[in-house]
Amino acid sequence: MGDTGTNITDSKNAKTYVEVTIVGKDKEGIVADITNYIFRNGGNIEKINQNVVKGLFGMHLEASFPPIDKSKMQKELDELGSKLAMEVKVHFHEENKIKNVAILVSREDHCLLKILNSRASGEINCNISLIIGSDEKLKSIADSFSIPFHFVNHLEQSVAESEILQLVENFDIDLIVLARYMRILTPNFVWRYPNRIINIHPSLLPAFPGAFAYVQAYERGAKIIGCTAHFVTEDLDQGPIIIQESFKVLTEDTLESIKIKGQIAEALALLEAVKLFLEDKLEVYWGKVSYK
């Protein structure tokens, strides 16, 4: 009986954590309307961040509430978004929830296979809901794991992103993993999923940025090379660093052997970053990742 009473008390005192993301054409009054809604409903803003780039406004806030009617809040924020002519997304954070993951790929398979095999072996626990490819080369891998594959390769990035965003929303995705996805996401996309997009970059950031990082490192005679798993922001390859892996360059190494070492390191770093996210062990404060 005592245990039952404790559970009821805990339930009554439990907080609901909500992420709200607002994206649209910049105008006056947006911040006031959203924050006033939070306060009127007994919420406490834990974090807030906003940006404006070329007239595009993006805001992300995290707030805690006493127990709330989630459906009612979703409906009211949808209505507020319509009033403001802004896109308002609501994400309810649930501890110990098995998260839904979308993986974006192009042509390289080493990171994708590492994640899929780790999921199959039980090393990570998540629903890999879909794989989205800018190329059809890796569709057979998705098929072999019985995961839906969607080919999205519009030349206009904004059109491609619109389709990807719709897919991600349809599958109620918690985490987007860029497993060597070779297209640059725009702020319009990134702002909708703050600290919920993880990328693997083939360099110890910020050195040797770009797609040919290993070539640059090899040509400059680097003795230690590595890769970086990081959250994606609107600043290319500058997001908060989660995990870094490195390896030594030996005298006998060739460009090809360095690439192979790099791919192994990439797969390990990306998997570790994904695992930490799935286990709710990551926090971002002032652009820096800390571990719970």
Determine whether 237 is an active site residue.
yes
pLDDT of residue 144: 98
Rounded to two decimals, the pTM is 0.82
Which domains are delineated in the chain?
A: 2-93 (3.30.70.260), 100-291 (3.40.50.170)
Provide the residue count of the chain: 292
pLDDT of residue 171: 93
Catalytic residue of the set 135, 237, 253, 280: 237
Spatial separation of the C-alpha atoms in residues 89 and 76, rounded to whole Å: 11
Structure-token match 């072999």, residue found? 144
Structure confidence by residue, pLDDT tens digits, 36-95:
999 999 999 988 888 888 888 989 899 999 888 889 999 999 999 999 899 898 888 776
Helix (H, G, I), strand (E, B) or coil at 27: coil
Whether the Cβ atoms of residue 89 and residue 18 lie closer than 8 Å to each other: no
Of 138, 128, 127, 114, give the one whose Cα is nearest residue 269: 114
Q: CB neighbours of 63 closer than 8 A, spacing ≥ 6? A: 17, 18, 20, 38, 43, 44, 45, 46
Spatial separation of the C-alpha atoms in residues 108 and 96, rounded to whole Å: 32
Whether the Cβ atoms of residue 35 and residue 60 lie closer than 8 Å to each other: no
pLDDT of residue 207: 67
Spatial separation of the C-alpha atoms in residues 202 and 189, rounded to whole Å: 22
pLDDT-flagged residues of the chain (< 50): 1-12
